[in-house]
């Protein structure tokens, strides 16, 4: 199979049939063998009924329905697991991503041998204050932190080699950082393509300003995980050891100084009245806790069974 199109969605009943017809037109005009995977992330409208109708009429349409709303990352992860195409295209269901971009994205993966192509909505039709400006700040921080020179990390329109999506595990709120996750797994041939952004035709956005706050927090998380995610002892163990040594040496110095003064008849204070005693004690305790955190982190990684964080209610055409 040439292409799998993975589309996570939440309450997009108005746009689904139009989106599928648009995708099918592009696929058929280019003679691609394809499948379209709709992942219903707990919609409360009639989105799933629309997907069922499309699935009965078109064998290329497949569906996954979550028991409740788990989030875009979990929806993408479920779609990635089921996708069979050599090239996997992700796009949003709100008609703001243009299916006419698919042939060029496909060629960049198959002919230019890119591992991943990320869309860049250079000209946007969103509100400048609430979306465009925060998005630029967010992307600038992501570029600086990750080292990837992408302009639009959050663009839903992306193309991947199948091996990339089968290797990368998307969880939490990490869908924004799939290129970073791919880079951390050794897929370094990552490119960018300017794509057309469509004005929203139906409904309203499902993401508020809190996505930027969550995005920055996730950026800190992924920055840490990229360096120490597979070796937490190298971070926690190192700082824990240094803190314990500092505390132990401080406590030893206080004790030796106390004995020296007593043996020479020099007036001294109780050890417990010395503020450095409590600093040394606290530092040793924190150092021990950090070391244990690193040790437990190593144990958790070794025993991690890659369990899923979502429940599928039903599927279609698999």
pLDDT(125) > 70:
no
pLDDT(72) > 70:
yes
- Beta partners for residue 36, in sequence order: 5, 61
Q: How many CB atoms lie within 10 A of CB 27?
A: 22
More confident residue, 205 or 7: 7
Contact in structure between 199 and 125 (CB atoms under 8 Å): yes
pLDDT digits 0-9 by tens, 260-310: 888 888 888 888 888 889 999 999 999 999 999 988 888 877 776 555 656
Mean pLDDT of 204-226: 66
User: 192 vs 34, 162, 255, CA distance in Å?
Assistant: 23, 18, 62
Q: Taking Cα atoms as reference points, which of 194, 219, 203 lies closest to residue 104?
A: 194
- The alpha-helical segments, DSSP class H, found in the chain are 16-29, 47-57, 72-82, 102-110, 133-146, 162-167, 178-184, 210-228, 238-263, 275-303
**Which are the contacts of 132, defined by CB distance < 8 A and separation ≥ 6?**
124, 126
Mean pLDDT of 3-19: 96
Q: How many CB atoms lie within 10 A of CB 210?
A: 8
User: 3 vs 50, 101, 107, 303, CA distance in Å?
Assistant: 22, 13, 11, 35
Q: What percent of the chain has pLDDT over 90?
A: 55
pLDDT interval class at 197 (50, 70, 90):
confident
Residue 212 confidence (pLDDT): 61
- Assign 3 to helix, strand or coil: strand
pLDDT digits 0-9 by tens, 95-120: 999 999 999 999 999 999 999 999 99
Please, what is the average pLDDT of the chain? Answer: 87
Strand order in the sheet with 3-9: 190-194, 116-120, 158-161, 87-90, 3-9, 34-40, 61-66, 312-316
**Could you give the dihedral angle defined by the CA atoms of residues 218, 93, 148 and 163, in that order, rounded to the nearest 10 degrees?**
100
Contact in structure between 41 and 69 (CB atoms under 8 Å): yes
Whole-number Å distance between alpha carbons of 42 and 304: 27
Contact in structure between 174 and 73 (CB atoms under 8 Å): yes
Residue 271 confidence (pLDDT): 82
pLDDT(8) > 90:
yes
């Amino acid at each position: 199979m040439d292409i799998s199109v993975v589309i996570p969605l939440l309450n997009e009943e108005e746009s689904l049939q139009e989106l599928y017809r648009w995708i099918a037109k592009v696929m058929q005009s280019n003679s691609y063998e394809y499948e379209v995977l709709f992942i219903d992330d707990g919609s409360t409208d009639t989105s799933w009924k629309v997907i069922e109708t499309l699935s009965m009429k078109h064998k290329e349409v497949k569906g996954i329905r979550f028991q409740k709303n788990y989030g875009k990352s979990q929806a993408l992860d479920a779609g990635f697991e089921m996708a069979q195409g050599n090239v996997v295209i992700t796009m949003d269901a709100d008609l703001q991503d243009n299916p006419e971009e698919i042939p060029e994205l496909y060629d960049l993966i198959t002919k230019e041998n890119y591992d991943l192509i990320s869309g860049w909505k250079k000209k946007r039709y969103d509100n400048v204050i609430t979306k465009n400006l925060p998005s630029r700040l967010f992307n600038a921080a992501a570029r600086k932190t990750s080292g990837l020179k992408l302009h639009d990390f959050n663009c839903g329109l992306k193309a991947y080699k199948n091996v990339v999506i089968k290797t990368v595990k998307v969880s939490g709120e990490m869908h924004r950082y799939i290129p970073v996750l791919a880079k951390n797994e050794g897929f370094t041939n990552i490119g960018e393509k300017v794509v057309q952004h469509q004005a929203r035709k139906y409904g309203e956005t499902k993401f508020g300003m809190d996505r930027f706050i969550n995005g920055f927090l996730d950026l800190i998380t992924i920055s840490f995980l990229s360096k120490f995610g597979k070796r937490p002892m190298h971070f926690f163990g190192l700082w824990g050891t240094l803190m314990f040594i500092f505390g132990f040496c401080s406590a030893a110095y206080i004790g030796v100084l106390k004995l020296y003064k007593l043996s020479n008849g020099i007036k001294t204070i109780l050890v417990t009245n010395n503020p450095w005693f409590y600093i040394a004690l606290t530092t040793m305790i924190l150092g021990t806790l950090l070391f244990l955190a690193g040790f437990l982190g190593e144990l958790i990684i070794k025993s991690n069974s890659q369990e899923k964080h979502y429940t599928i209610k039903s599927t279609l055409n698999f």
